[in-house]
Amino acid sequence: MSRPPFPFSALVGQADLALALLLNAVSPAVGGVLVRGEKGTAKSTAVRGLSRLLPEIQIVDSCPFNCDPWALDPDCPAGTHPLGAPRRRRPAPLVELPVGASTDRVAGSLDLERALTEGRRGFEPGLLAAAHRGILYVDEVNLLGDHLVDLLLDAAALGVNYVEREGVSVRHAARFLLVGTMNPEEGELRPQLLDRFGVTVEVRGNADPAERVEVIRRRLAYEADPDGFAAAWAAPDAALTERIVAARRRLPGVRLDDGLLERIAAVCAAFAVDGLRGDIVTAKAALALAAWEGRDAVTLADVRRAALLALPHRRRRGPMDAPGLDEDELDRILRQAGALQRTLARLDEHRVRLQRFRPAAQQDRVCAAQAERGRLGRHAACERQPLQLHAQLDAAARGDVASVGGEPVAQVDHRADARRGKRAPLAQARPRPEVALDELGRLALAALEEQPPGL
């Protein structure tokens, strides 16, 4: 019996790494994790620890493709499993891609001769089959051949492994959590490949001396007695497993409202993220985070945290720009987007009111002309629609539209002035809606760009 892996809950620090892995465990749709960092930063330890947290899976007993007895894969190369086929439970698989693995080893190999007589049974499963419903761990993914990385990322994205040789093709389900690690000092991944990892985490050694001491203390305890150490941490690990299960159950019901979606879009646009993958992954990670925290709705804080995981590797940047995402910049953008939303919402309210008000504004011209001639109160418009007109003027006088465009709006009590027989300065007091709205929108945008209002 090999020694148990270092327990996930016994990791010290590395909060980003732990969270990225857990969110993917909750929602594989987040799309995998790329862990960047030097050697000796607990990358492999965390992944192996995570594999022990994943809930057990139930498989068709005889199937080397980890078929789910409750959702049979009609394409399974092991043949069509009968309903009610014997099944068994097993731990979620953790497959580590060995350095120098061949395409056949990864994707599986098709024995053409056997395939001709036995059909898809002539297919030998590869590592993608073995990783189905578990984790596929690729250490030093940046040193892997491009074709192999493409193969992994395609399978991870589609959830299907597709192999074709000389006109014979086989496919099988291959849904796994892809975790890649890389040491950036040994070379970067192509940007197209970077973009296909859902989230990235930058890991560094623990800087806090107290944390470092704790890391060493736990490592020594683990090495002295792996089983005893694992047993001591079994309860916190089990609690994490329960939390994953609960979050998975909660996830489909979690809400992400339009206002937050707009903020995600604003952040992606501001950081010049190409395409839409950044927006989508941020949304999915935020949903997973809300579920993980036991909430039914995504909050702004979830969006912020998700963006920090999903966008650093997607933002367009010059060769001299620092990697990662500037948190102050992110906060500024989120605040601006929120302020803009509130401004636009207010504009919408005003637009509705102004539309109601517009006929009155038109009539005001008649009103004003009449007032000039000192015949206020007896002109045709007021006599024709006195109630409607006065209701609209009242709304204006109450100040409902008083703030539009910084223009004074209907501050004058039309009827009071009319009763007093005074000449009201109606022409100056009335809004000019046809100018005000577009102009106001432009001013609001300009103001936001120059001076972000605080939240």
Contact between 174 and Zn ion per CB under 5 A: no
Contact between 130 and Zn ion per CB under 5 A: no
Q: Quick one: which of 76, 156, 163, 367 contacts Zn ion (CB under 5 A)?
A: 76
For the chain, what is the total number of helices (H) and then of strands (E)?
Answer: 19, 11
Contact between 65 and Zn ion per CB under 5 A: yes
Q: Which of 87, 90, 114, 277 is catalytic?
A: 277
Cβ closest to Zn ion, residue 76 vs residue 325 = 76
Cβ closest to Zn ion, residue 65 vs residue 137 = 65
Binding characters for Zn ion, 15-54, by CB under 5 A (x = yes) = ----------------------------------------
Task: State in angstroms the smallest separation of the CB of 126 from Zn ion.
Answer: 14
Contact between 67 and Zn ion per CB under 5 A: yes
Instruction: Give the binding range for Zn ion (CB under 5 A) out of 71-79, 140-148, 350-358, 422-430.
Output: 71-79
Cβ closest to Zn ion, residue 78 vs residue 201 = 78
Contact between 287 and Zn ion per CB under 5 A: no
Q: Select from 343, 349, 353, 357 the least CA-distant residue to 429.
A: 357
Size of the site for Zn ion (CB under 5 A): 5
Cβ closest to Zn ion, residue 78 vs residue 163 = 78
State how far the Cα of 58 lies from the Cα of 279, in Å rounded to an integer.
34
Q: Which long-range contacts (CB under 8 A, 24 or more apart) does 61-68 make?
A: 61/85, 61/86, 61/87, 61/88, 62/86, 64/125, 64/129, 64/130, 65/125, 65/129, 65/132, 65/172, 65/173, 66/93, 66/129, 66/130, 66/132, 66/133, 66/134, 67/173, 68/133
Task: State in angstroms the smallest separation of the CB of 169 from Zn ion.
Answer: 17
Cα 267 to the center of its chain, rounded Å? 11
Contact between 410 and Zn ion per CB under 5 A: no
- CB-neighbour burial class of residue 182 (10 A; exposed 0-12, middle 13-18, buried 19+): buried
Cβ closest to Zn ion, residue 75 vs residue 154 = 75
Task: State in angstroms the smallest separation of the CB of 158 from Zn ion.
Answer: 18
Task: State in angstroms the smallest separation of the CB of 157 from Zn ion.
Answer: 22
Cβ closest to Zn ion, residue 174 vs residue 404 = 174
Q: Quick one: which of 19, 21, 23, 78 contacts Zn ion (CB under 5 A)?
A: 78
For residue 255, what is the DSSP state?
Answer: B
Task: State in angstroms the smallest separation of the CB of 83 from Zn ion.
Answer: 13
Contacts (CB under 5 A) with Zn ion, residues 313-372: none
Instruction: Give the binding range for Zn ion (CB under 5 A) out of 46-54, 63-71, 118-126, 181-189.
Output: 63-71
Cβ closest to Zn ion, residue 85 vs residue 347 = 85
Cβ closest to Zn ion, residue 67 vs residue 285 = 67
Q: What is the C-alpha end-to-end distance of the chain, expressed in Å?
A: 57
State how far the Cα of 242 lies from the Cα of 133, in Å rounded to an integer.
18
Helix, strand, or coil (residue 169): strand
101 with 148: CB under 8 angstroms?
Answer: yes
Tokens of 319: 């060769």
Task: State in angstroms the smallest separation of the CB of 61 from Zn ion.
Answer: 10
Buried b (16+ CB within 10 A) or exposed e, 395-412: bbbeebbeebbebebbeb
Task: State in angstroms the smallest separation of the CB of 60 from Zn ion.
Answer: 5
**How many Cβ atoms are within 10 Å of 451's Cβ, its own excluded?**
8
Secondary element (H or E) of residue 248? helix 234-250
Task: State in angstroms the smallest separation of the CB of 113 from Zn ion.
Answer: 22
Q: CA-based angle 180:184:189, to the nearest 5?
A: 60
Buried b (16+ CB within 10 A) or exposed e, 374-384: eebbebebbee
Provide the residue count of the chain: 455
Cβ closest to Zn ion, residue 74 vs residue 209 = 74
Q: Quick one: which of 26, 63, 128, 288 contacts Zn ion (CB under 5 A)?
A: 63
Instruction: Give the binding range for Zn ion (CB under 5 A) out of 2-10, 56-64, 91-99, 292-300.
Output: 56-64
Task: State in angstroms the smallest separation of the CB of 73 from Zn ion.
Answer: 6
Is 249 catalytic? The answer is no
Instruction: Give the binding range for Zn ion (CB under 5 A) out of 48-56, 75-83, 190-198, 327-335.
Output: 75-83
For residue 178, what is the DSSP state?
Answer: E
Instruction: Give the binding range for Zn ion (CB under 5 A) out of 59-67, 133-141, 162-170, 190-198.
Output: 59-67
Return residues touching Zn ion (CB under 5 A). 63, 65, 67, 76, 78
Q: Which residues are catalytic?
A: 277
